[in-house]
Each structure stands twice: as C-alpha cells, then as structure tokens.
Copies of this chain bind each other. A is one copy, B any other.
C-alpha cells in the first residue's frame, strides 16, 4: 500500500530529494550516525514541551538530515522503544519537518532459516505487525497491517543490500502466537517499530524505507536478550556504514530514481 501507484509516481516532481528524516528508536543506534553526519541537537524543539523526543539535524552534501529519536522515558530513563512512541514521533516529525522520505533505521532480530546472519543489514520490502490478532473478518487484515516499503530497486541493487520482510511487535521476546504470525508474515527480520512507522508514513502520504541490522538470531541457540545486548554496539557499526551508503546514494537523486 505504501509503494506509490504508477500514476502518483509519475506525478512526483523530478527534483532531487532534499529532506530526510531518520526515525531511530535507541540512543545507541542514533549516536554514531549523529557523529558521522556531524549533526547537532536542536535545542529549539519542534516538538511539544515535556516530550522526551530528540532531534539532531544538519547538512550533509546537498541533503538536510534529521535524526529523531523518541528519547528516554521521562520517568524510567530507558529508550522509549516500541510502536506507540515511534508512531507518535513519526507523526510529529512528518508534520513539523515535511520530509521527502522517512528512513526507519535500527537493529532487529533475524531468522537464520530465512538466511539472516548477525551483522546483516536488511532493506525491508514489506512490513507487518505480528502481535495484533483480531479474529474478525477484515479487522484481522487491519491488525496485521501489511504495507510495502517505498520501492527502491536501484538502491537495493547498487548497494547490494539483503532484502527481506520485516515483522513488528512490542515484545523483545517471541511467544508461540507471535511466531505463528511472523511465519505468516514470511518475515526475515523482526523489530519493535517498523510497521508502526509504516502506518503513520502511509497515513501522511510520505514514502518510507526500513534498514534493519541483525543483532540476534531468533531461531538460534542463544537467548535473545543476551545476544541482543552483546551485539548491539558492533552491529550498530554495520548499520552506521549501510546508512551512510544509502544517504550517499540518495544524494542528488529524486524519488523515482531510488
């Protein structure tokens, strides 16, 4: 649903992309990119008073780059991960910053049965939820909420990125019901934000792509939490590198050239 129909795509002005918003859930994931693109934290927030959301921005080549994060929970002090925070942040950021494209970048779990390895960076072809079971006709489809990412065949080919489907849920672990839904979603990677970002971007008619770096193998023999925390820093470096290549590729191109 998010891939632009041909008619719409033809109507896109053939001007280069100038404004990118990255939605990144965790500080550990955002920091290396903030440094890499030499962004500075905006003190004059475009967000309401009291929200912990953080925006870094700056110019890189011909692009305005914003990295937004949901920030630390105001009471508990941990990163505000998950679908509620990321949907709010995506909404507020699109409204305030009117990006040409949204890029949701972050870490994910991967399934080795579908070819994923630690450190792989996936470009998601499709995103869907795996923890919104509503067993009433049509509501069931709404719950799963499958959406295609913005079509970027040239980017995928040029950068030789792995392509896979992404499944989103608000739990770090995977209960049997989640697993069944993830298999039904034909997912290679599993995260906690993607499908929510896709929903909001679709609602506000903004193209979105999804870059997910694999921190843990879900169908492997190590516990997810342990593997996730162990690999977070190293895999974030791989993500950092992939994001830089994506931004370099986007620079000077219009949407239909991606």
Contacts and interface: CB of A to CB of B under 8 A. Distances in A.
Interface residues of A, number: 48
Contact of A135 (B51, B129, B143, B173): B173
Contact of A50 (B51, B170, B199, B204): B204
A51 B135 CA distance: 25
Interface stretch (A31-39, A70-78, A109-117, A248-256): A70-78
A12 interface: no
A138 interface: yes
Summarize A's interface: helix, strand, loop or mixed: loop
Interface string A200-235: 100111000000000000000000010001000000
Contacts of A5: none
Task: Give how many copies assemble into the complex.
Answer: 2
A81 interface: yes
Interface in A51-85: 51, 73-78, 80-84
Contact of A48 (B1, B81, B204): B204
Given A48-B204, A51-B203, A205-B50, A78 B138 contact: yes
17 contacts: A50-B204, A50-B205, A78-B142, A81-B134, A81-B139, A84-B199, A84-B200, A87-B87, A133-B170, A133-B172, A133-B173, A136-B172, A136-B229, A139-B172, A143-B171, A170-B170, A177-B177
